[in-house]
């Protein structure tokens, strides 16, 4: 007889890993035990060597569906050994310092759905049905090891029947921490001025939604506001109450067949939307689109998800609607609402009814959002279904402990420990007090579940006034850690490099704004990135940003900034007053004030932002004259271009400044051509197409020129602008046509959601 000790590391807790080990060992007549040790499962096997080796093969091939094995180490034992007479699952041990890899929340599995649909099953129509293959994980965990008593399910002691399942290693609910039934589990109830005495609150909620009522529905990681989608009226009422007059709403549809009735769905989109992670997938509307236009106004696409909890499935079983709006029930940038009292008080006057439950949500977690660009996946928000799965940094730095706090808006944070980078769920806008508090609490909790007690480095943005920068300084003092300030676009580029496993790249970083090394607002940059260092080698031509946030809200001001210097002042004033005066809140007086600011430089900043350029083009074409939600002018520009005939080409010019050896794309001339074409009667959609393409090709040419000079053969694209499919494809095709390799984000966000991960990478390279 031989004995072996096997240590398995990865996502191996709360996923049915130990009962799988138990069944495989019993099948091969092996003795010993299995238990959790932090983020490691320890297996002791006693038996024939061939059988132990076969066990290892079987475990790799038959691991639980939501588990992941990152490493499997085998140590053959000898000496004075303990003799085992059976194989057992023994209690978890806390005697291990490693970080625990907690699995993310995953959608209700087919087995549980079958039980919920079976009138003879004791879980018939029970909304909290779950097993080791599905259900909440991250949102219910308090601490590790991941056992029921350390989750919010501790509030619901198991009944006798559930206890039998929970203790049976042959059952798929063995140590399924979220397992329960209607006898012992959470309860759902309908609320309006008190709890309503209704036999079937979910059925009643569906009836109310179908009648046009607005419901607040508490889910797994937060709360949604829900309304029907087949009529404009209820959607418009929700918009008025939320003051979200144009922002597209995410929707939930019962199944993929229904989705195909109103949206185009490719094979990869179908696979993703139906996956156990169940993200929101941005899909193009099809020719049969029949939902209310106000669901996603003035856009060619909309965000769609399928049910991921038992409660969602039950709602649709009682409804005739093809889709519900399922929008986060919090103000933009603020934390998800998770406490029943808070949900009721904060949504009073917005929701007509509340469908709530009594299970505590420990960790907020927004829905994840993805879209596909010519078949390639792009994360817009990486949260539910993915967090807290770590990224592998073992090839960069295994020893360093880093906390990276991200930018200021669309924040995530990251913790690096033992070569694993844990990127948090979406946090939001830290300029808001509640969100800033949420950030700090979420950091504390992530430290707990990764068993992190201190840090070597605190990484943050270069901007000195960000709240996250101030927090980094405080935490640096607390832990005696070094503060590392990372330029915003360098962090973007670093995340891109890690995602694609490259060390050096010519990176196109195009977004709204990032604080530059020179104190100006960058956002259209070509960076030669080499790990911990970078050089800015080209950019869009610098433009004046008049009035800061006013210009982002009213992009006609950016039109004036871009045209100033290319037009006579009187001519510019006349153009604005005759063709664009409706876009200025204060009319001619504001036009004159902006000109004075441009002439004097008063209350202006310098920017190379691609986002502001796209906003200006959108405003100049009359597509969007006021931003009411993040990215609105550029998103509407993309949709206008989507419906074009693709027949307009707009020239672009690259200029060189010999004083600093920098190349610039002249965006003012692109804008001038757009206005000229519009005045000559060209179709606005065609101009939008040509303008996007000109910006894309100009950026690509800047990058290609830089690659030629430096000898780098990889060109990459990062930043929120590269959520735009047409721009991404144009840049990609141009780069590849010149013989260069082109890379984009695959498992990280092109936008600010992965900035903290990039900050972590820069710290790792710098401190290696």
The 3-class SS string of 667-711 reads HHHHHHHHHHHHHCCCCHHHHHHHHHHHHHHHHHHHHHHHHHHHC
Predicted pLDDT at 662: 95
Q: In what order do the strands lie in the sheet with 420-423?
A: 391-392, 420-423, 414-417, 402-404, 457-461, 482-486
List the catalytic residue out of 18, 173, 278, 364. 18
Predicted pLDDT at 101: 76
Predicted pLDDT at 464: 95
pLDDT bin (cut points 50, 70, 90) of residue 100 is: low
pLDDT bin (cut points 50, 70, 90) of residue 99 is: low
Q: Tell me the mean pLDDT in the region 609-635.
A: 97
DSSP secondary structure letters along 444-511: HHHHHHTT----SEEEEES-TT-HHHHHHHHHHHHHTPEEEEE-HHHHHHHHHHHHHT-SEEEEEEEE
685-731 pLDDT tens trace: 999 999 999 999 999 999 999 999 999 999 999 999 999 999 999 99
Alpha-carbon span 188 to 340, nearest angstrom: 12
6-64 pLDDT tens trace: 999 888 877 889 999 999 999 999 999 999 886 789 999 999 999 999 999 999 999 98
Say yes or no to pLDDT of 260 above 70: yes
pLDDT bin (cut points 50, 70, 90) of residue 280 is: very high
Predicted pLDDT at 97: 52
Would you give the end-to-end CA distance of the chain in angstroms?
45
CB-count burial class (<10 Å; 0-12, 13-18, 19+) for 637:
buried
The answer to whether domain 2-89 has CATH 3.40.50.10160 is no
291-338 pLDDT tens trace: 999 999 999 999 999 999 999 999 999 999 999 999 999 888 789 999
List the catalytic residue out of 31, 35, 36, 150. 36
Q: Is the model more confident about 719 or about 647?
A: 719
Q: Tell me the mean pLDDT in the region 466-490.
A: 97
CA-wise closest residue to 359 among 452, 513, 220? 220
Alpha-carbon span 216 to 226, nearest angstrom: 6
HSE of 229 in the Cβ direction (CA atoms, 13 Å)? 30
Predicted pLDDT at 117: 98
* SS3 call for 403: strand
Q: Which residues contact 189 (CB under 8 A, 6 or more apart)?
A: 195, 196, 201, 355, 356, 357, 358
Q: Tell me the mean pLDDT in the region 575-599.
A: 96
Predicted pLDDT at 10: 84
Token digits of residue 280: 């929101």
Q: CA-CA-CA-CA torsion for 150, 417, 496, 328, nearest 10 degrees?
A: 20
- The overall average pLDDT reported for the chain is 95
Domain boundary assignment for the chain: 2-89, 197-370, 395-502+752-767, 521-529+536-743
Predicted pLDDT at 378: 95
Cis amide linkage into residue 289, ω under 30° from 0: no
HSE of 334 in the Cβ direction (CA atoms, 13 Å)? 12
**Domain spanning 521-529+536-743, CATH architecture:** 2-Layer Sandwich (3.30)
Cβ pair 416, 393 in contact under 8 A = yes
Q: 121: which DSSP letter?
A: S
pLDDT bin (cut points 50, 70, 90) of residue 585 is: very high
Say yes or no to pLDDT of 157 above 60: yes
Domain 2-89 shares a fold with domain 521-529+536-743: no
Report CA torsion sign: 499, 501, 503, 509. negative
**Domain spanning 395-502+752-767, CATH architecture:** 2-Layer Sandwich (3.30)
Query: Where are the alpha helices (H) located in 544-609, listed in sequence order?
Result: 549-553, 556-563, 569-579, 587-600
pLDDT bin (cut points 50, 70, 90) of residue 424 is: very high
Say yes or no to pLDDT of 377 above 90: yes
Q: What percent of the chain has pLDDT over 70?
A: 99
Say yes or no to pLDDT of 734 above 60: yes
Alpha-carbon span 149 to 177, nearest angstrom: 9
Say yes or no to pLDDT of 624 above 60: yes
Predicted pLDDT at 38: 67
Q: Tell me phi and psi for residue 656, to 5 degrees.
A: -125, 135
Q: Which residues contact 460 (CB under 8 A, 6 or more apart)?
A: 404, 405, 406, 466, 468, 469, 471, 472, 483, 484, 485, 486, 759
648-673 pLDDT tens trace: 999 999 999 988 889 999 999 999 99
Token digits of residue 323: 């889709």
pLDDT bin (cut points 50, 70, 90) of residue 485 is: very high
pLDDT bin (cut points 50, 70, 90) of residue 92 is: confident
The β-bridge relationship of strands 741-743 and 714-718 is parallel
Q: Give the H/E segment covering residue 2.
A: strand 2-11
Q: What is the pTM of this model?
A: 0.94
pLDDT bin (cut points 50, 70, 90) of residue 249 is: very high
* CB atoms inside a 10 Å sphere around CB 48: 13
Q: Is 276 a catalytic residue?
A: no
CA-wise closest residue to 31 among 39, 22, 40? 22
Q: Tell me the mean pLDDT in the region 167-194.
A: 95
Q: Is 36 a catalytic residue?
A: yes
Predicted pLDDT at 209: 98
Predicted pLDDT at 71: 87
Predicted pLDDT at 333: 79
Predicted pLDDT at 95: 63
Alpha-carbon span 247 to 28, nearest angstrom: 58
Predicted pLDDT at 413: 98
Q: Tell me the mean pLDDT in the region 225-249.
A: 96
Q: Tell me the mean pLDDT in the region 592-608.
A: 95
**Domain spanning 197-370, CATH architecture:** Alpha-Beta Complex (3.90)
């Amino acid at each position: 007889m031989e004995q072996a000790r096997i240590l398995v590391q990865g996502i191996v807790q709360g996923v049915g890993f130990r009962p799988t080990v138990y069944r495989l060992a019993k099948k091969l007549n092996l003795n010993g035990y299995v238990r959790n040790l932090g983020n490691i499962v320890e297996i002791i096997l006693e038996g024939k060597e061939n059988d132990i080796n076969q066990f290892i093969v079987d475990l790799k091939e038959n691991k639980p569906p939501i588990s992941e094995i990152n490493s499997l180490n085998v140590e053959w034992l000898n000496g004075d050994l303990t003799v085992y007479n059976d194989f057992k699952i023994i209690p978890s041990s806390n005697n291990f310092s490693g970080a625990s890899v907690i699995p993310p929340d995953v959608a209700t599995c087919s087995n549980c759905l079958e039980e919920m649909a079976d009138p003879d099953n004791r879980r018939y129509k029970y909304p909290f049905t779950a097993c080791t293959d599905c259900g909440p994980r991250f949102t219910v965990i308090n601490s590790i090891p991941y056992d029921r008593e350390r989750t919010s399910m501790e509030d619901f002691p198991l009944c006798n029947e559930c206890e039998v399942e929970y203790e049976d290693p042959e059952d798929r609910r063995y140590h399924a921490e979220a397992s329960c039934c209607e006898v012992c589990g959470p309860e759902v109830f309908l609320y309006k001025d008190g709890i309503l005495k209704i036999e079937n609150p979910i059925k009643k909620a569906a009836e109310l939604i179908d009648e046009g009522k607005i419901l607040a529905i508490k889910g797994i990681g937060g709360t949604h506001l829900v309304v029907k989608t087949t009529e404009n009226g209820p959607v418009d009422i929700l918009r008025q109450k939320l003051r979200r007059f144009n922002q597209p709403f995410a929707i939930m549809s019962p199944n993929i067949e229904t989705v195909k009735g109103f949206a185009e769905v490719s094979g990869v989109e179908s696979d993703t939307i139906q996956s156990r992670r169940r993200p929101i997938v941005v899909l193009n509307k099809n020719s049969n689109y029949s939902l209310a236009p106000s669901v996603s106004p003035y856009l060619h696409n909309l965000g769609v998800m399928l049910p991921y909890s038992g409660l969602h499935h039950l709602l649709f079983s009682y409804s005739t609607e093809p889709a519900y709006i399922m929008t986060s029930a919090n103000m933009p940038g603020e934390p998800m609402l998770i406490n029943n009292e808070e949900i009721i008080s904060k949504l009073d006057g917005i929701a007509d009814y509340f469908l709530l439950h009594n299970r505590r949500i420990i960790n907020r977690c927004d829905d994840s959002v993805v879209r596909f660009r010519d078949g390639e996946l792009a994360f817009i928000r990486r949260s539910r279904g993915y967090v807290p799965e770590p990224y592998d940094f073992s090839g960069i730095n295994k020893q360093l402990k880093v906390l990276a706090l991200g930018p200021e808006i669309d924040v995530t944070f990251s913790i690096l420990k033992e070569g694993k980078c844990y990127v948090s769920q979406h946090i939001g806008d830290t300029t808001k007090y509640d969100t800033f508090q949420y950030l700090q609490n979420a950091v504390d909790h992530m430290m707990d579940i990764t068993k992190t007690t201190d840090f070597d480095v605190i990484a943050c943005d270069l901007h000195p006034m960000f709240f996250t920068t101030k927090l980094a300084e405080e935490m640096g003092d607390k832990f005696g850690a070094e503060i590392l300030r990372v330029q915003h676009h360098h962090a973007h580029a670093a995340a891109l490099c890690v995602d694609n496993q490259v060390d050096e790249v010519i990176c196109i970083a195009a977004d709204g704004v990032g604080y530059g090394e020179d104190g100006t607002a960058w956002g259209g940059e070509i960076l030669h990135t080499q790990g911990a260092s970078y050089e800015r080698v080209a950019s869009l031509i610098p433009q004046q940003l008049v009035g800061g946030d006013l210009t982002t809200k009213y992009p006609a001001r950016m039109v004036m900034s871009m045209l100033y210097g290319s037009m006579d002042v009187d001519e510019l004033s006349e153009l604005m007053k005759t063709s664009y005066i409706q876009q200025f809140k204060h009319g001619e007086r504001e036009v004159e004030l902006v000109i004075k600011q441009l002439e004097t430089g008063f209350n202006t900043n310098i920017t190379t932002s691609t986002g502001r350029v796209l906003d200006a083009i959108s405003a100049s074409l009359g597509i969007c004259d006021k931003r009411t939600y993040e990215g609105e002018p550029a998103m509407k520009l993309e949709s206008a271009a989507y419906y074009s005939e693709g027949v307009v080409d707009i020239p672009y010019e690259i200029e060189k400044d010999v004083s600093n050896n920098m190349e610039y794309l002249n965006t003012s001339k692109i804008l001038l051509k757009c206005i000229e074409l519009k005045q000559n009667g060209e179709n606005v959609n065609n101009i939008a197409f040509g303008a996007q393409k000109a910006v894309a090709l100009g950026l690509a040419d800047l990058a290609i020129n830089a690659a030629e000079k430096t000898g780098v053969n990889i060109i990459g694209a990062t930043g929120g602008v590269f959520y735009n499919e047409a721009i991404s494809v144009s840049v990609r095709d141009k780069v590849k046509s010149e013989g260069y390799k082109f890379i984009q984000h695959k498992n990280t966000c092109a936008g600010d959601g992965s900035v903290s991960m990039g900050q972590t990478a820069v710290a790792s390279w710098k401190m290696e």
